[in-house]
Structure 1
């Protein structure tokens, strides 16, 4: 860490695919669980768990059961997630997918529309750091821009969390886990019946809480509630 910002992270990992028998066991468990859930979240880290065949079988089963799927994809599986309810990616990833830099609002708009067509999905959410996020929906023209809002959170390991202050476009402390926070809160809110625009605003607020914590962190319902109250003030 340097000046409250993560500079270097070192991972030690194995990335080979799961053995076939383990993948089949996992698929059986997952396909059984799909009958009991309101949404499915897939965050693809390209570490060996998800393969093209795995993704195809899971999305096909979810589609048959009318379970919406929310995905944070990897470039190695650009075609595996067609038909998902929503795709979440950051601006760098979106630029890679469409082979151009997202330097201005026009390029972001073009990239979002291209990704909607490419993935054949209902929505694309592009997270843009201090610029917030852009939400594209197949059913509506243009896109929704959600401004960045970050919160400095004070908390203890066993204490009560609280909001110290709120600010727009504040310096990020640690972005570890921010993308997964957006993905999970977006899915949770949408599964609860929130329109995607409202779900995106909740997800953006939740991510703002998480980046105010050091290391991989999560946001509690209480923290999210306090953050929303802070915005209202």
Structure 2
């Protein structure tokens, strides 16, 4: 794969459409310092100096699509609360199109991280991890039925908060079979929901998630291959991409076609959100008509950039192009 081919693929990403369906959450940060221990309990007292709120979960996947020049349609649920309003505003500011179903029976999923002197002290989760109610479920599928033909690629972003359920998957897989042109379905899996993903086009687990799905620890090439084959047998998916951190990626295009893509990360500060970047880049590339191997190679470049930044970062077409020029041609090998 030449650098010229990679540059051509990067340029082709702009303007393509991807739908993201799944668990949207509000990442809330309270940042300050600690000067004393509470007299009420042996815990630090954090004096908050600033707060910030970011798109989390499926929202971060959509943010990655937009940062790479794509058009993201985010379909999720929020509560009828102020946090839901905040997520709506953040999506608009990020230029993400949305269909946010307001569910009065659940709070907006929110993760508050309290950080003192660059150290996370505690995380407070507010959530209700249950499936949608019937009225909201019907609203969701009425909407999907009206727009699904407009999207060649759909990401299911499952964070285990209840949106992706057995009832959802049964209706969703039936719906896409009625499309004029069946969209590709990509899944960032949640281990407890593995058996929901039968027949999807691409799964993108990391090694830990692959091992949990296969039933044994994944520690190197041999176990990556074994785990991949076990997941194919279990789920009958079409393709599988196992991300291995500093060891790159293993792309399975079927049980016996396995190719290794080396990592392009030059420094690693924070792996937060790297999986979101990978699936977003692959999806946008497939929407542009790019082949799966090249799509995964682009995703490896993108992930290599974001792990060199702190927090759930994103990258851009320009940054990817510059990075490609600074690195040698990727040496993809058969396993």
TM-score class normalised by the smaller sequence: 0.7 to 0.9
State the shift of 1:64 in Å. 3.1
Residue of structure 2 in register with 1:182 after alignment: 278
1:6-85 matches, cutoff 5 A: 10-14=123-127, 15-65=129-179, 66-85=182-201
**Larger RCO, structures 1/2 (Cα 8 Å, 6+ apart):** 2
Give 1:141-152 correspondences, 5 Å limit: 141-150=256-265
Bigger mean CA deviation after superposition, 52-61 or 197-206: 52-61
Distance in 1 of aligned mates of 2:243 and 2:195:
20
Q: Give me the whole-angstrom Cα distance separating, in 1, the residues matched to 2:261 and 2:121.
A: 29
Distance 2:120 2:208 in 1: 18
Q: Secondary structure at the match of 2:250?
A: strand
Q: 1:76, CA displacement in angstroms?
A: 2.3
Which moved further from structure 2: 124-133 or 96-105? 96-105
SS of equivalent residue, structure 2 residue 192: helix
SS at 2:126 equivalent: coil
Unaligned runs of at least 5 residues, structure 1:
151-166
Name the count of aligned residue pairs.
Answer: 211
Coordinate RMSD, CA, aligned? 2.2
Partner residue of 2:12? none
Task: Verify: 1:102 aligned to 2:198, yes or no.
Answer: no
* Equivalent position SS for 2:321: helix
Q: 1:137 to 1:99 in 2, by over 3 A?
A: same
SS in 1 for 2:160: coil
* TM-score, length basis structure 1: 0.83
Question: Which runs of at least 4 in structure 1 moved beyond 3 Å after TM superposition?
Answer: 6-9
Residue 217, structure 1, aligned to residue 217, structure 2: no
Indicate which of 260, 282, 296 corresponds to 1:200. Answer: 296
Structure 2: runs of 5+ lacking an equivalent: 1-114, 330-335
Contact 1:186–1:202 (Cα < 8 Å) also in 2:
yes
Which has the larger share of strand?
2
Residue 205 of structure 2 aligns to a residue whose secondary structure is strand
Q: Which residue of 1 aligns with 2:250?
A: 134
The corresponding residue for 2:333 is none
Is 1:87 the equivalent of 2:203? yes
> CA shift at 1:8, angstroms?
7.1
Tell me: CA distance 1:8–1:206, structure 2 relative to 1, closer, same or farther (3 Å).
Answer: farther
Q: What does the per-residue CA deviation read over 1:127-174, in whole Å, with 9 as the maximum and x for residues that have no partner?
A: 111111111011x72411111111xxxxxxxxxxxxxxxx3xx3x211
Contact 1:62 1:68 in 2 (8 A): no
